[in-house]
Amino acid sequence: MDVPAFVETWNPITLAIPFFTISVFAEMVHARLTGKTRFETRDSASSLVMGLGNNVSSIIFGLVLGGWSVFVYEHRLMDISFAWWVWVIAIFLDDFLYYWSHRFAHTVRWFWADHVVHHSSQHYNLTTALRQPWISPFTLKFLWLGSAMVFVGFHPALVAFVGALNLIYQFWIHTEAIKKCPAWFEAVFNTPSHHRVHHATNPLYLDRNYAGIFIIWDKMFGTFQAELEDEPCRYGIVKNLGTYNPLKICLHEWLAIVKDMAGAKSAKHAVMYLVAPPGWSPDGSRETSSQILARWKARQGVGEVESGKAPTAPEAAE
């Protein structure tokens, strides 16, 4: 199959780096002039170092991941062309798979150990988008979910290209400078408002809005939560790290898993520390996101919270 020249020669993320750089600088200027966006020097520096490390990691593991994609493609179910409509389908399908991959990254601790890196900043600006993990291949997610489209018959180069476009799209939604987009856009696409909710630790906002490009998946599968004017976002993770050390940011949850498994009283508990939601513990001494939300609702004296409404302001998640 003939691969379009631009797919073989263009790296969308590399081409986007000047845009990323200019945008971060512009947002910093905006923050200085208006005070509507917040930056912290050490936090931003940590995010930039994490982004650089992620690029190095991609180069190091690139041959392994590329070789696996080629192997899967050799056993594909069918041949799919590069027709324009294939690109449209690929973008939607990639985003659909991203939604589920992202959802698993919040509900299975093994995957959360990697993804927590991206959520570890207590600030929300464009440098946060660059705060990425270094050892993602160790989750082994690429063996199945990352290879699904290739196995069906989409060319690996096409899959990599649309995946890169998805990541590039998500860069601009990491900002407080843009409050709301037009209603029609908010209804279909992921936006800064939707993604602020995703990064928030407010009990009402925990584990919501997993979308990459299209917010429709969250609305279809019951994980959507609108950003509320009377419920400002608090960013970070439930128990914040209190460090700007990139190595600790990268490895802290992996080390916590090892510690928990080493102290487990049974093989079942050891496995649960890997596959249960973050915060699970056999004695209930910790809390998962769903338990935090349930406790908050109980304190507020309410039942189910509608996606567009909230009762009185909640307490901070412990």
pLDDT at 6: 75
What separation in angstroms does the CA of 314 have from each of 201, 204, 298?
Answer: 11, 8, 11
30 is a domain residue? yes
273 is a domain residue? no
174 is a domain residue? yes
287 is a domain residue? no
pLDDT at 23: 96
pLDDT at 315: 37
**By residue range, what is the domain housing residue 191?**
5-221
pLDDT at 316: 37
Q: How many domains does the chain divide into?
A: 1
- Which regions in the chain score pLDDT beneath 70? 1, 8, 302-318
How confident is the model over 30-41, as pLDDT tens digits?
999 998 888 999
Structure tokens belonging to residue 24: 């971060």
302 is a domain residue? no
* Whether the model pTM is above 0.75: yes
38 is a domain residue? yes
179 is a domain residue? yes
280 is a domain residue? no
Say how far apart CA 131 and CA 189 lie, in whole Å. 22
